[in-house]
Structure 1
Amino acid sequence: MDVKALLRPYPDWLAHLESLGGFDLALPGGDLADELLRLAVPHEDVNAVLAARPEPGTWQWWLAERCAHSLVSTMGEMADPPPFQSLPELGPYFYVYVFLATLPHTRAYHRELGVPEEVSWATFTDLGRNMAVHRKRFGTGGLLVPYWFMLHARGILYELGRLQFNRDTLGRTTGETLRAAGLPVGPGSPSLGVHVPDFHGPLTPEACDASFERARRFFPRHFPGDEVRVMTCGSWLLDDQLARYLPADSNILAFQRRFHLLHRFDNSDLLAFVFGGDAPSPGDAAALPRRTRLERGIADHLAAGGTWYGRMGWLPF
């Protein structure tokens, strides 16, 4: 296969990879299966991942070298490299090997920063979690949105208990809104992004309290130059319409009440987040499962002609 022809629809990505050149791609030796299990790769995917190992001299190896080089060369940098693309020709597990090859470099970066080992490994196991989410949504093996794990591999995102946090900067709309509200921030100001991973237990107020407290200690200690003043979250969990369908003491509403809510945005992924592979098309609300109060509320809202949104929110750091 002509790999450059494959990447031609993504000229910025191709130019970036070509500018990097080769890389000493060292894939894990020994019992790779144990390494995959340590990263929480689902058991049903382990054999298929092992069988998909790229071989030196192939076009897959050429691309894996440069993808790994892209991550390592931008380790800790706030400017994002061009995102990895999900291409059928790569197969479902190609990027698993890219991240495995990058893992020693990420761990070395963590050690330089003094990041505790348990935080490193909790962060890395999001690789397996995102493979589990892929199977939940599509019923097949694979790695959901591989560009997401680029944040972990580049030392930008960290899992601190129930929640994940990534170093970030405020976008134009959010930054201007917060500046207009009198906060000493604006577009481009340092911030933290807040994320709620799947398959990680209930989103209880106590668990969230602990995560936010850890974040307020962790980032000033390991990234003292960032001068973060706000944390932001953009999620379907912050759609204030949920209050019509959930009890006031629900974990979702408790999480939502932590934030000052800002603008809405389209959120076509909500059904996949909530229903996984059971989600039909958005126009077929009658076919949605109604197993929980949340599912019933979402389905009833759509059946009545309503629309669900994502919402941006912020809270002080």
Structure 2
Amino acid sequence: MNNTFLFDTGLTDHHLALIKDRYNQVKELPLHRVLVEKSIVLLEEQDNKALFLLFDQGFKELGPLYPLVLMYAVYPSIVALYTHLGISDAVRQATLSDTGLWVKTYENQHRGLTGLDRYGWICRDLCAKVLRLGRLEFEQDPFRFPYSIYYDRQLMRYRAFAQDSLVCTDGGYIGNSSGSVTGAGSWSTTCSSDDTLLFAHEVDQGLGIISRTPIEIPLADLTNICTKDTLVLSVHIPEGEPLTPSLVDASFSLAQAMYSPTLFVCDSWLLDPELSLVLPPESNICHFMQRFKKFPVSFSTPQIYERVFGFGATQSDIEAWECTTSLQKKVQAHILGGGIFRTMGGYIPAPVGT
């Protein structure tokens, strides 16, 4: 099991020695035994939310290394689940390699101390709710954004409309994660329909903003593709390899073959159209961003801050940052010049390319 655990997770022999040492310290504890027994049951049920609570309890009561200890203790059950679901060893290894990335992040943030605090995400990997297929990760779940997406048969294109009562900024973005909007000129969306017409605010899917003026559209022209809670395939972008168009194309093809989704959906700093003002159009990031039809999403802090500069970075931190990469320098210069970055949502109709 040791070799499989290391190969799958991307951890090192040093990590394994730490984990086994801690395991020997806790293996007779009643709490550890209960957490292991319950985790095995929840893995069989693929209940990542309940599994998270167990990992969280272990982290809080037995320390930051314990989530890795618990993962090690139940690893045969993790492998058995993937096998039962017919998921290949290669996909399992690619998916669970997230563990090594997050352990490295923890070590960088805690002066070399080994631990894992992103177990909420890792539990989705352990339960095979998220799978890495090539460069990207995919997760089948309900559409959770306040929009309805249609295919307009007359115009032969996809269109997105905001749901009712969204509070928007003057520029057509929606409020932060608590729903509040600051600044003058805020307004709210309206959305209604009868037997023949839809009356709603359309989303500019190039800029990712909501039009302030609602319009009427004949329902007879529209095919409903997606509303809240429609099952879609969420796209996640792990750190690591470049987002080259060929790698991204290959990932979408693998996901299409495995899941046959209606829509691919993503929310990320990588979808922000503002990136086109700081990066060349032929860059991998711009190529990726331009694949998606965009819509605004709620957020507290732009995701680009943590992903480009580090977790916890604020705008004031970034303005004084000693930049070490070209992307940091470009983002910093844009912010100092008054530019605003946002986390952005978007979708791609499936199959990709249609």
Alignment TM class, shorter chain as reference: 0.7 to 0.9
Partner SS state of residue 265, structure 1? coil
Q: Which residue of 2 aligns with 1:167?
A: 140
Counterpart for residue 227 of structure 2: 186
Q: How many Å separate the matches in 2 of 1:214 and 1:298?
A: 33
Classify the secondary structure of the residue corresponding to 1:188.
Answer: coil
Which residue is 2:258 aligned to?
Answer: 218
Q: Which residue of 1 aligns with 2:323?
A: 290
Q: Give matches, 1:231-242, under 5 Å.
A: 231-242=264-275
Equivalent residue runs for 1:198-209 within 5 Å: 198-199=239-240, 201-209=241-249
Hey, what does 1:111 align to over in structure 2? Answer: 83
Contact 2:148 2:228 in 1 (8 A): yes
Q: Distance in 2 between matches of 1:197 and 1:56?
A: 36
Gaps of 5+ in 2: 151-158, 162-201, 203-221
Q: Deviations over 1:181-236 (max 9, x none)?
A: 7542222211111111112x11111110111111111224xxxxxxx300111111
Find the structure with the greater CA-based Rg.
Answer: 2
Distance 1:270 1:51 in 2: 38
Instruction: Name the count of aligned residue pairs.
Output: 275
Which one has the bigger helix percentage? 1
> Which residue does the alignment assign to 1:49?
19
For the pair 1:299 / 2:332, whether they are aligned, the reply is yes
Note the C-alpha offset of 1:250: 0.9
Question: Deviation string for 1:48-101 (max 9, x for gaps)?
Answer: 2222213223334333433443333x32x6x94474438544311211233334
Aligned-pair CA distance for 1:166: 1.0
SS in 2 for 1:92: coil
TM-score between both structures, scaled by the size of structure 1: 0.76
2:307 aligned residue (268, 273, 281): 273
Classify 1:289/1:187 alpha carbon distance in 2 versus 1 (closer, same or farther; 3 Å): same
The structure in which a higher percent of residues are strand is 2
| Cα root mean square deviation, aligned | 2.8
Q: Which residue of 2 aligns with 1:196?
A: 237
Equivalence for 2:100: 128
- Structure 1: any 5+ residue segments left out of the alignment? 1-27, 221-227
Distance 1:60 1:96 in 2: 12
- Counterparts of 1:76-95 in structure 2, within 5 Å, are 80-81=49-50, 83-84=52-53, 85=56, 87-95=59-67
**TM-aligned CA distance change 1:230 to 1:280, over 3 Å:** closer
What does 1:141-152 correspond to in 2, within 5 Å?
141-152=114-125
Deviations 1:123-154 (A, max 9, x none): 12222222123234444322241010111111
Q: Distance in 2 between matches of 1:95 and 1:145?
A: 9
In structure 2, C-alpha distance between the alignment counterparts of 1:203 and 1:116, rounded to whole Å: 23
Residues 35 and 255 (structure 1), Cα distance of their counterparts in 2 relative to 1, 3 Å cut:
same
SS at match of 1:262: strand
Q: Give the direction of change, closer, same or farther, for the CA distance of 1:138–1:234 in structure 2 (3 Å limit).
A: farther
